[in-house]
Amino acid sequence: MDKKMVPEVRFKGFTDDWEQLPLSKISNSFSYGLNVSSKKYDGKNKYIRITDIDDNSHKLVEKNLTSPNTNLEDISDYQLKENDLLFARTGASVGKSYLYDNADGKAFFAGFLIRMEINGEFDKNFVFQNTLTDKYQQFIKITSQRSGQPGINAKEYASFKIIIPKSFNEQRLIGKLYFHLDNLITLQQSQIDYFLKLRKGLIQRIFPSNKASNPKIRYTDFNNNWEQRKLKEVTKEISNKSSEGELLSVTINDGIVKNSSLERKNNSSKNKSKYKKVEIGDIAYNSMRMWQGASGVSKYSGIVSPAYTVFKVKKNVLNNIFLGYSIKTPEMTWKFRINSQGLTSDTWNLKYPLFSEINIQIPSLKEQNYLVNLLESIDKVICSQTKHLKTLKLLKKYFLQKLFM
């Protein structure tokens, strides 16, 4: 008996087989984008290019919008309408998709984009979600590499086959589920972006600029000038060697992390006799990426590459967490950049002897502790929100695997 063409998970009340259709059977037409120059956004007429579509959310990015630099009456055929789905047809973004939303306003689509007009008999959200599946990504990978320049034309997009419910109501329910999930993910990401922006603004205000003796805002109990010290006065390099322990890495965004948590190949040396020991609370930095903020306060005991620098702080004058925040500020990373040795950014290097001669401004230990508590509270919120975002993305991935074929 032939196996029924149905997904692993379904909404109640639907039992019919699904059917496999190429996009050509789901679309009224495929057409190429408009090839005219752009001008400053006029506040009404949007000119959507590949770069205006976010790589992750597949939503319209409002930041750098432009308008078509031509008579709009002559390009009415290129104005997007409900049920329009766009595909990137060439370059590194090939395969990127965007489902036009009326809420995005009046929009025209530019060259290097292909429009698929989805037939009203099919649910647009269901069709769009098929462009976010592993099956679609595999199609893009294979099809785009048929020529020297990565690209997919309209005929090739039209040949992509999806397995779709015969019932429009089933399509609509699945599409609606993903529509709400996408909105939740977007909202969650916007909350994270808000707290990241808040954190960045606070750091700019609670640490002094290079020429100032005090920050722009302070707790009311503190009014003494911050003290300028050389880093060698408040830190001490540690070079204890060990081949035993958890392998750690220093990253730009997340500080010190377990190497096993990184989604990349382990390129560490088999002979770890020269690796440096790191204790909880130590600060380590990547000597070649310190100017980019590749440093962190370690939450783990372990070992790091001998290319890294490890040091401790003098606890009677300095809170190590405070220093961890301080050396990532724009003012300090700029100092690290101009003090690094090397001819190009690929070879810039900041070893401890040079690092230790750089000046840093610090307040009293009590004020440092206040500032640490403030920043850590924000970081905890960001961490919690990020975990929630990952959960939502995993939930969507699960449904993509179970509700689609």
Q: What is the topology classification, in CATH, of domain 168-223+363-405? A: Helix Hairpins (1.10.287)
Please name the helix (run of DSSP H) or strand (run of DSSP E) that holds residue 395, with its range, or none.
helix 365-403
pTM > 0.85: no
221-227-232 Cα angle (round to 5): 135
Structure tokens at 162: 């999806």
Per-residue pLDDT, 1: 43
Chain CA centroid to CA 38, Å: 27
Q: Where are the domains of the chain?
A: 18-164, 168-223+363-405, 227-263+273-361
Fill in the DSSP letter of residue 270: S
The reply to whether 18-164 and 227-263+273-361 are identical in fold is yes
* 227-263+273-361 has CATH 3.90.220.20 classification: yes
pLDDT at 213: 87
Fold of the CATH domain 18-164:
Adenine-n6-DNA-methyltransferase TaqI; Chain A, domain 2 (3.90.220)
Q: For each successive 10 residues of the chain (405 residues), what is the average pLDDT?
A: 77 92 96 94 94 91 92 94 94 92 92 95 96 94 78 94 95 94 94 95 90 90 93 95 91 91 71 90 95 95 93 94 95 94 90 95 96 96 96 93 86
